[in-house]
């Protein structure tokens, strides 16, 4: 099979709720991704600059993102990766559309600081948890989505800090 006909595997790093802290462990976990998505509560433009140094970046604004730098971030974003449509917003409860009817394969959120992977009506709901300052007794995590042969799957990576 020629190289051009080989199925393409894509790796999407997903991070949220950094609150201005980009840990070295998070950087290591996201290294090698084809794309990185930050699902809000970035906390600092320095976090975005560092992530852009790893891969192309898509980021949305979270409820703590304030100031001129944050106004440049959209509230939500549509991501098209090889005709696989992902919808990104910070707070799931602010979702104002039917992702299944809209043709989205995944909805990516943050805000709760709790990692979660759930499929509803054929749509993957993916929250990578929080990669920033530890809150309560929750683990510090990021996520990865893999797109291969038209299938989308996700996993949570515990940074064990």
- Considering the domain boundaries, does residue 42 fall inside one? yes
Total count of domains within the chain: 1
Q: How many residues does the chain have?
A: 161
- Considering the domain boundaries, does residue 31 fall inside one? yes
Nearby residues of 138 by Cβ (< 8 Å), 6 or more positions away: 113, 114, 129, 130
Q: In a structure prediction context, what are the per-residue pLDDT tens digits for the chain, which is 161 residues long? A: 455 555 689 999 999 999 999 999 999 999 999 999 999 999 999 999 999 999 999 999 999 999 999 999 999 999 999 999 999 999 999 999 999 999 999 999 999 999 999 999 999 999 999 999 988 889 999 999 999 998 999 999 999 86
Q: How far is CA 85 from CA 12, 78, 102, 106, in A?
A: 13, 7, 9, 7
Three-state SS letters, 5-39: HCCCEEEEEEECCCCCCCCHHHHHHHCCCCEEEEC
Which residue segment(s) compose the domain that 123 sits in? 8-158
Tokens, residue 15 = 């991070």
**20 class by beta-carbon count within 10 Å (0-12 exposed, 13-18 middle, 19+ buried):** middle
CATH number, domain containing residue 17: 3.60.21.10
- Considering the domain boundaries, does residue 2 fall inside one? no
């Amino acid at each position: 099979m020629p190289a051009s006909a080989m199925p393409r595997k894509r790796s999407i790093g997903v991070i949220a709720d950094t609150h201005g802290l980009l840990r070295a462990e998070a950087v290591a976990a996201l290294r090698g991704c084809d794309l990185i998505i930050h699902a809000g509560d970035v906390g600092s433009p320095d976090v975005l600059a560092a992530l852009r140094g790893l891969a192309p970046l898509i980021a949305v604004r979270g409820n703590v993102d304030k100031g001129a730098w944050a106004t440049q971030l959209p509230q939500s974003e549509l991501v098209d990766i090889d005709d696989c449509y992902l919808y990104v917003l910070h707070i799931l409860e602010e979702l104002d559309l039917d992702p299944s009817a809209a043709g989205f394969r995944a909805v990516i959120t943050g805000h709760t600081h709790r990692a979660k992977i759930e499929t509803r009506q054929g749509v993957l709901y993916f929250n990578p948890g929080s990669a920033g300052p530890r809150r309560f007794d929750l683990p510090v995590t990021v996520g990865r989505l893999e797109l291969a042969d038209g299938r989308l799957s996700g996993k949570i990576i515990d940074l064990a800090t």
